[in-house]
Each structure stands twice: as structure tokens, then as C-alpha cells.
Amino acid sequence: MLSPPLSHTLAAASRVVARVLGGASLTAVLDEDARGASRPAVQDLAYGTLRDYGAPEAMLAMLARKPIPDRAVRALLLCALHALRHERRAPHTVVDEAVTACAELGHAAARGFVNALLRNFLRRREALEAEARGSEAACFGYPAWWIARVRRAHPEAWEAALAAGNTRPAMTLRVNRRKLSVAAYLAKLAALGIDARRVGVVAVRLSQPRGVDALPGFAEGEVSVQDAGAQLAAPLLDVRSGMRVLDACAAPGGKSVHLLELADLDLLALDHDAERAPRIGATLERVGLAAQVRVADAGDPNRWWDGKPFDRVLLDVPCSASGVVRRHPDIKWLRREADLDGFAREQSRLLAALWQVLVPGGKLLYATCSVFPEENGAVIDAFLARRDDARRLLPPGLGDGQLLPDDEHDGFFYALLEKR
């Protein structure tokens, strides 16, 4: 299959980036605007541009000297600057194809401006790159407030955590031990020439990502795609067959399925999002497991709880998603510092509400995919200060519960609470 022309990829990626910078979700925009054979190339360029956004944005400001009013043309220039800085194509080819892309975007009148600006970048590249490095946002690829908070929270590891968030994410699978062993699945992969290695109890990391349709046994439920850090959640709850378990913010269902792979449970999977909740059922069906699925606000038990307490509760709360930005680079530029207070309030509301549905002696796992303490330890400390019937358990190997993103996993926080 022939690759799409670079001009088409630049134009399509520019539309995506323009919508994202206008406030839309990158994943949703790609699903709407980048379908068919061209999607891999468009997705790669859009993701790369948004991961790299700080530096091209700084250099674009130097080159244009005044704001570029048209969002599509600005996005095209950002995509082209990213391509010039990171792709292996000849620079003149990228410039020529970006000029061609102007017409595809409906902005033929901008061709001269785009051509002149990109050629000016090539002439001044070394000086522009040096000047951009003077800006932390350009150097690290995050907003200044984000950098400051991560530095303050993790003074010994902040640079490594930020750098990890700018890498391409690994593809990690979770092997369903109800169906086969990790060794048996690795043998299946090896027989197909797929290089992989074990990175956890049931975690297998592929050396190169690939579509799930190309994975042996995926359709049959032998494996699921799940980051190695996210795979820690279900085992931490220490579930046993016969227990009544609540997965309170369950969509798309990966953690619910993992819990059911560990034991025969009476499991209720809740999610407030009526559009995402059906994915829980689809995930369960693929793996061949069953649970009750309901659409409801977990923070309002009066509307869904039957009064029978749960032995275990998994509370994977809505959060800033600051630990998974390599998978969702748009988050870095759409999130605002003030959002953290709103997340913390919602997290505290959910935690307080779900504590009442937990049986005495039961356990609740509070989980986020955040690296910000305001959503993690601060929420837990405040909760424990208000409750004399709660204590925090410290599972071996988890330290304070904060996992920062690295080569093996994304960023997560876990706090295991026991009800006295």
C-alpha cells in the first residue's frame, strides 16, 4: 500500500492539531477526522507535534513576530516545524509539501507566508534552537506551571519524569492466566516472529507496538492491552472468590476484567459516562467473563446501591492524567493549573461517598494516573484526618504509592485503605 503524500498528511494532521489547540480531545478528533489508510501517518505527526509543542511554538513566535490569526495555518506551521526537526525527509521536501498543503487546507493565499517562514527557519535553525532552549517550556515540552509543580513534588526525579512523558509509549499486554501462562503466550509470539519480554507478573512488553488484530489470542481473550503500572491495581485489592466487589469508575473495563481474571467475583462495574460504559460490556464479552454494568454517579450511592456492603472497592478516580501524557500529549497543553483543585474536590467527594458502601474489614484502593500530590497523597491525608475508621496499608515495594513514568510504565498513584 502506497503511503499518502506528505502534503496530505501535513494538512490532515494540521486539522487535528488545530482542533486540539482549540480545546478538543486528541483521541476524539483522530477518530472523527483521521480514518482509513492515512490514519497511522496522520496520528504519528499529530502526536509528535503535540509532544514537541513547546519548542516549535517558541520558534514560531520568533519567526512570525506577531500572532498568526488563522488556527489552521498556525497548526500547519507547527506540524511542518516538527517534521523539519525530527523527520528524515529532505528539508526542501518538507517545505514544498507544506506549501502544497496550504491549498488542501483551503488557505492557498498563505503559501508564500508558509514558504518564507519555513525557509527562514532552515537558515536560522541553529540560533533559533539555542534561543528556544532558554525557555523551560520549550526545553522540557510542558507548560511552565506543570514543570514547576513536578519539580517541587519530585525534586530528585522531576527531569526524568518529564522526559519519560515525552517518549513514545510502550505497548504492554496483560496475559489472562485463566487461559494460559505467560511463558505459553511468549512462545506464541515467538512463533510469529513477534519480539517481546516479560516485565511483570502477567505483563508482556512488545518491542514494537502493533494493532490488536495482529496479536494472537487477543480476540479470544488471552491477552488485553494494559500498561504495566495499571496492572498493579487489581492484585493490590487481594480479591478472593465469592467476594462482592465494586469497580466505581470502570470504563473501559480493563481493571474490572483483571479483577475477574484473578477470582470468581460478584462484581459491579459503574461508570457515569453513558457513552463509555458500553465498552465495559464489550471488554467483558471478549474475555468471556461476566459482571453487572451500570451507568451511575458513583458519588451518589443512594441512586444505585442496594444497601449490601462491598468487600472490596476499586476507586480509579477522574484526575489530571498527568502520568499518562505520552499516550495523550494534548493533556499537557489543554490542562490548566486551576483544574487540579476541581479534580481534588471530586476525588474527595467520591472517596467519602464510597467509604460508606465498604464492609468493616474491607479494603478500598484509591488510584489515579497523576503525578501531582494535590490529587494523590493530599486527598488521602485529608480523608484519613477526617475518619477514625480508616487506616492506610502499605503494600511492600510501593513506597508512598507514587509511581513516576519511566521506561517500564506510566505514572500512577495507589493508596490502599482498610475500614476498621
Catalytic residue status for 102:
no
Q: Give the Cα separation of 222 and 287 in Å (integer).
A: 7
What sign does the dihedral 375-377-382-383 (CA atoms) show? positive
Assess contact for 251 and 273: CB atoms under 8 A. Answer: yes
Residue 9: its H or E element: helix 6-21
Q: Give the Cα separation of 103 and 66 in Å (integer).
A: 23
Assess contact for 43 and 211: CB atoms under 8 A. Answer: no
Is residue 80 exposed (0-12), middle (13-18) or buried (19+ Cβ within 10 Å)?
A: buried
- Give the list of residues 6+ apart from residue 397 with CB closer than 8 angstroms, or none: none
Assess contact for 394 and 417: CB atoms under 8 A. Answer: no
Which residue's C-alpha cell is 506549501?
99
Q: Give the Cα separation of 405 and 382 in Å (integer).
A: 25
- Identify the active-site residue in 102, 249, 319, 369: 369
Q: Three cell numbers at 50?
A: 503535540
User: Quick one: DSSP state of residue 144?
Assistant: H
φ, ψ for residue 130 (rounded to 5)? -65, -40
Catalytic residues: 369
